[in-house]
Amino acid sequence: MKKIIILSLSLLIFTSCESDFLDTTPESTINDEQLASSAEANEAIVNGIYSALRSYGLSINNHEDYGHKSILTATDLMSNDMLMTKSSWYSNFYNYQARQQTNNRSRLAWSTYYPQIKTTNVVLAGIPEEVTDDKLKAIRGQALALRGYFYFMLARMYGPTYIGNENKLCVPLYTEVVFEGKARSKVAEVYAQIQADLNESVELLQGFKRKNNNAVDQSVAQAFLADVYLEMGKYSEAAVLANTARQNYPLLTENEWMQGFYDVSNKDTMWGASITSAQSTFVASFFSHFDNTNESGYAGGLGIYKNIDKSLYDLIPNTDFRRNAFVSPIGNSTYPSLPAYANLKFIDPTIDAGDYIYLRAASMYYIEAEAYARSGNEALARKTLYDITVTRDPAYILSTNTGNDLINEIILQKRIELWGEGYAWFDMKRLGVALRRDYVGSNHTAFGKFNIPVGDNKFIFQIPQAEIDANPLIVQNPL
Cα angle 236, 242, 248 (rounded to 5 degrees) comes to 145
CB half-sphere exposure, 252, CA atoms < 13 A: 23
Q: Cα separations (Å) of 426 from 55, 342, 447? A: 23, 23, 22
Residue 22: per-residue pLDDT: 33
Asked if 92 and 105 touch (Cβ cutoff 8 Å), the reply is yes
Answer yes or no: are the C-beta atoms of 244 and 364 closer than 8 Å.
no
What is the number of residues in the chain? 479
pLDDT for the residue numbered 9: 33
Parallel, antiparallel, or unpaired for β 306-308 and 82-84? antiparallel
- pLDDT at site 279: 87
SS3 262: coil
Spell out the SS3 assignment of 303-327.
CCCEEECHHHHCCCCCCCHHHHHEC
* Nearest by Cα to 269 from 232, 214, 187, 351: 214
- Spell out the domains of the chain, with CATH numbers in brackets: 213-271+355-433 (1.25.40.390)
479, burial (CB in 10 Å: exposed 0-12, middle 13-18, buried 19+): exposed
pLDDT at position 13 over 60: no
Backbone φ and ψ for 299, nearest 5 degrees, come out as -70, -65
Residue 267, judged by CB atoms within 10 A of its CB (0-12, 13-18, 19+), counts as: middle
**DSSP letter, residue 207:** T
Is 31's pLDDT higher than 80? no
Q: What is the pLDDT of residues 376-433, one digit of tens each?
A: 999 999 999 999 999 999 999 999 999 999 999 999 999 999 999 999 999 999 999 9
